[in-house]
Amino acid sequence: MVLHKFGEKLYSGLVTTMTSHLKEISNSIEAAQGGLFLDELNRKWAEHNKALQMIRDILMYMDRTFIPNTHKTPVHELGLNLWRDVIIHSHAIQSRLQAILLENVRRERSGEVIDRGLMRSITKMLMDLGPSVYQDDFEKHFLEVSADFYRLESQEFIESCDCGEYLKKAERRLNEEIERVSHYLDTRSEVKITNVVETEMIESHMHRLVQMENSGLINMIVDEKYEDLGRMYCLFRRVSNGLVLIRDVMTSYIRDTGKQLLTDPERLKDPVDFVQHLLDLKDKYDKIITSAFRNDKTFQNALNSSFEYFINLNSRSPEFISLFVDDKLRKGLRGVTEEDVELLLDKVMMLFRYLQEKDVFEKYYKQHLAKRLLSGKSVSDDAERSLIVKLKTECGYQFTSKLEGMFTDMKTSQDTMQGFHASHGSDIGDGPMLSVQVLTTGSWPTQPITTCKLPAEILGICEKFRNYYLGTHTGRRLSWQTNMGTADLKATFGKGQKHELNVSTYQMCVLMLFNDADRLSYKEIEQVTEIPTFDLKRCLQSLACVKGKNVLRKEPMSKDIVDTDTFLFNDKYTSKFFKVKIGTVAAQRESESENQETRQRVEEDRKPQIEAAIVRIMKARRVLDHNNIVAEVTKQLQSRFLPNPVVIKKRIESLIEREFLERDKGDRKLYRYLA
């Protein structure tokens, strides 16, 4: 027919025949009752597809030649278009099909079992008829109905469930929709339907969920509900600003609890307990972030900034962290494995990183380390050195050079003492044994040189050591730091009871006086020993007023020492221990006045550092305005401390006075470097 120019007749005949046939099929489908409607539609669709293939094969020549030349619709596509127009878009079938499909989805959401295979066949038919058919005839209405369904359901849930329960239901609904898509909907529908669930069940209620009384985010954190927190994280990350909300609420809570901790006078009484509490808090939040928030870097950064914020609210944090280290390195690490020691030191370093005043920590750490080394109280040299290596890695060589110098001095002192005993061993005989630590002035914390009159027996051997040391080292000067020493004394009490007393050098000077006298007044002791008043009172307090250590008696008996007191040797002193340690050299938190002194020393130490930074910057830049100098100096020094802009301004003025800098004549806000 095509060859004889009857192609048009053949094509129009095909359209007419198929249309009339499909109208009969349409009537048959419309007549199907209830649940048989989808079965009938599916069966007729399968038959139509089979017929279409046969027709296409029979009319293959027309399909290949006539149709392309006349720009008509190919046979198979024509068959699909006619099915769409005659069957699917017939008013009776279209509305009924849509209603049944949506009803099946509703039934399945309510827990009923439906024929998923049949649903798959019908939705595939709609997709085969073209994306617009699936979208306009089903998907658009499906999404609208779903939004209404989840809006109502979420409202019911939020009124009746706690936060954790609600999140479980939301998660289940989300998974159901994803599963539904995989069974019988177009894969492209997944994003759209999950978006509907996320909007209605999560985004619309996320503020209420997070703030929910007795079960919201804060309660989950307090009760360590990792599973619920993980679920909240996974659901909230699906909606815009969901994670931002969680992060902001968590940050605010951490900052508030941190502030409470810092304003709790009970907590601040014990620095070691205070720092341990900080570490426990950090461990808790770290665990939440790793196990519930998938180690999210933004949450980690928020946690770090929160800790940095509230740790620096307490000006004594550097001192407390150093005291915590001191406590652990004195006694807290006995019997602990190397791995656990490293773990603890890493945690301390983490707190150290939060400090803005690292130089204040260095000041205290140096004092505490000095006391540990000089009293031989450090439980592990390896742990001490490990922490110094960590500090060096964090802050550079400059930060730890003096700390390393302290260890060097201790080693050198051992060698010096061996040499002294080797050359003077025979001279000493039965006299007192001496052990000296020679400390390099620049490396150790500056100590005021205090006067103290040593007993004659001790002075002799001290002089021998001085002569030996100065004889082997030229150009050096020795000054005795009696306030930092210790002594072991053999003492005999009433009934011949003997004890070995471990005391400070000051305590030794006081006790040796009682070899020649049974009773001495405070004034007499002060006059003979020349120990500074404050130290003498503390020393006598520990000898006479501490139960179990009272080798002296005080008249009148009271807790405090006054100038009119009299002291007697306590003949009746007893102890179940042969060795008795009197008074400790353990680091204690400073009093307010001592703290102020330390602060002033730190401020003085900062001045040359700020000036050096200004000179370095001006040398490189030559001319710079005030604000940029402040910004650059802060940037250079923030690894050690945050310089105060007012102090920077004063240091600039000082450098101008000393003619390192000058103000620009044209612009007074500019500074010029004078080479």
Q: d(Cα 38, Cα 27) in Å, to the nearest integer?
A: 14
Q: Is the same domain home to 68 and 199?
A: yes
Which segment of 194-198, 330-334, 345-349, 570-574 scores lowest on mean pLDDT? 330-334
- Which of residues 551, 581, 611 is at a domain's end? 581
In CATH, what number is assigned to the domain containing residue 76?
Answer: 1.20.1310.10
User: What CA–CA distance (Å, rounded) separates 571 from 494?
Assistant: 5
| One domain, residues 608 and 648 | yes
Whether residues 436 and 370 fall in one domain: no
Contact yes or no for 198/190 (Cβ under 8 A): no
Domain harbouring 501, CATH code: 3.30.230.130
Both 332 and 231 in one domain: the answer is yes
Where on the phi/psi map is residue 130: left (φ > 0), alpha (ψ -120 to 50), or beta? left
* In-domain check, residue 587: no
Residue of 312, 314, 316, 292 lying closest to 304 (CA atoms): 312
**Beta strand pairing call for 498-504 and 486-492:** antiparallel
pLDDT at residue 324 above 60? yes
Closest CA to 634 of 606, 604, 662: 606
**Residue 118 CB burial class (10 angstroms; 0-12, 13-18, ≥19):** middle
pLDDT the model gives residue 586: 42
For residues 213 and 222, give the distance between their C-alpha atoms in angstroms, rounded to a whole number.
Answer: 13
Angstrom distance (rounded) from CA 635 to CA 627:
12
Does this model's pTM top 0.75?
Answer: yes
Structural domain count of the chain: 5
Cβ-contact 652, 619 below 8 angstroms: no
Q: Would you state the pLDDT for residue 86?
A: 94
**258 and 299 belong to one structural domain:** yes
pLDDT at 419 over 50: yes
Measured torsion, CA atoms of residues 128, 133, 135, 139, in degrees rounded to the nearest 10: -80
Please check whether residue 478 lies inside any domain of the structure: no
The answer to whether residues 296 and 373 belong to one domain is yes
Tell me if 491 sits within 8 A of 550, measured CB to CB.
no
Distance CA 659, CA 605 (A): 22
Task: Tell me the two tokens of residue 582.
Answer: 């009197």
Same domain, 402 and 418: no
Lowest-confidence region among 329-338, 369-378, 616-625, 647-656: 329-338
If you search the block for the tokens 């401020």, which residue do you land on? 603
Alpha-carbon gap, residue 288 to 284, rounded angstroms: 6
- What stretch of H or E contains 469? helix 456-472
Do residue 453 and residue 499 come from a single domain?
no
Residue 571, pLDDT score: 87
Alpha helices in 185-240 (DSSP H): 189-197, 206-211, 217-222, 226-236
pLDDT classification of 585: cutoffs 50, 70, 90: very low
Whether 126 and 238 map to the same domain: the answer is no
What DSSP character marks residue 216? Answer: S
DSSP for 326-357, written as a single string: HHIIIIITTT--HHHHHHHHHHHHHHHHH-S-
Asked whether residue 477 is assigned to any structural domain, the reply reads: no
Whole-angstrom Cα distance, residue 326 to residue 309?
24
Cα(586)–Cα(583) distance, integer angstroms: 9
End-of-domain residue from the set 581, 602, 622: 581
Q: Give the pLDDT confidence score for residue 105 in this predicted structure.
A: 96
**How many whole angstroms separate alpha carbon 260 and alpha carbon 268?**
11
Residues 146 and 128 in one domain: yes
Reading the block at residue 396, the tokens are 């550079």
Q: Is 452 helix (H, G, I), strand (E, B) or coil?
A: coil
Residue at 216 is within a domain: no
Contacts of 544 (CB under 8 A, 6+ apart): 550, 552, 553, 554, 561, 567, 570
Res 590 pLDDT > 70: no
Peptide bond connecting 432 to the previous residue in cis, omega within 30 degrees of 0: no
Query: Quick one: pLDDT at residue 587?
Result: 46
What 3-state DSSP class applies to 483? helix
**Would you state the pLDDT for residue 429?**
65
Length of the chain, please? Answer: 675
Question: Which of helix, strand or coil describes residue 502?
Answer: strand
Q: Are 543 and 645 part of one and the same domain? A: no
Q: Which of 235-239, 407-411, 586-590 has the lowest mean pLDDT?
A: 586-590
pLDDT of residue 667 exceeding 60, the answer is yes
pLDDT attached to residue 426: 67
Residues 206 and 100 in one domain: yes
Tell me the residue range of the domain where 638 lies. 592-673
**Would you say 479 and 461 are in contact if contact means Cβ atoms under 8 Å apart?**
no
Q: Which of 211, 242, 268 is the last residue of a domain?
A: 211
Q: Where on the phi/psi map is residue 379: left (φ > 0), alpha (ψ -120 to 50), or beta?
A: alpha
Q: Confirm whether 586 is domain-assigned.
A: no
Which of the two residues, 102 and 329, has the higher pLDDT score? 102
When mean pLDDT is compared over 196-210, 422-436, 505-519, the highest value belongs to 196-210
Q: Judge whether residue 418 has pLDDT over 70.
A: yes
- At 588, the pLDDT band (50, 70, 90 cuts) reads low
Percent of the chain past pLDDT 90, that is, above it, reads 53
Which CATH number is 658's domain given? Answer: 1.10.10.10
**510, 525 contact by CB (below 8 A):** yes
Q: Where would I find the beta strands (DSSP E) of 465-511?
A: 486-492, 498-504
Q: In this predicted model, what pLDDT tens digit does every residue of 5-21 receive, in sequence order? A: 999 999 999 999 999 99
Task: Give the list of residues 6+ apart from residue 562 with CB closer than 8 angstroms, or none.
Answer: 522
- Two tokens, residue 140: 């658009």
> How many of the other CB atoms lie within 10 Å of CB of 87?
23
Closest by CA position to 602, among listed 359, 311, 397, 399: 359
